[in-house]
Amino acid sequence: MLDLHGRLAFVDCLDCGLRLARERMQERLAEANSGHPRIPTDAEPRSPAPDGDARVDESALDEYRVPGCPRCNGVLKPAVVFFGENVPRPRVERAYARLRASDSLLVCGSSLSVFSGFRFCREAKAIGLPILILNQGRTRADDLASLRIDAECGEVLTRTVSLLGLE
């Protein structure tokens, strides 16, 4: 498995490249904003969106402090590829190498709307690998798939792991 577009579990410094656990960054944010009246405390329920976003009153941002990198004080960013950014070339090359060494390709929870993921389906088809797509709704590679399952990924994968006795 390769996190092609990164993971929200980490933040990266744009200046020196230091990678921090997102949990540590959350602690640093809480410390820097401990007296902020509009920032939820640990006792308050939170419901962030799947992409990590949360609704915050814009006026709350005026006094909000975002700490810099602990090494160089540079700007920190979630370790994900945002729309408009490119997947880093070394990661793409690793993905192609892993694909060529595989017996099949499994796509979970992606519409493959952007080329960064779709290109691996095209490559898998070109080299004769079977492609299994597990996603709710249509994908850009439906016509390339050997098997297509229209279902919720977490539910299907959890059940599969259980049926295989891999829990």
- Name the residues annotated as catalytic: 5
Residues counted in the chain: 167
Q: What is the DSSP string of the chain?
A: ---TTEEEEEEEETTT--EEEHHHHHHHHHHHTTT-TTSPPTTS-----TTS-----GGGGGG------TTT---EEEEEPPTTSPPPHHHHHHHHHHHHT-S-EEEES----SHHHHHHHHHHHHTT--EEEE-SS--TTGGG-SEEE-S-HHHHHHHHHHHTT--
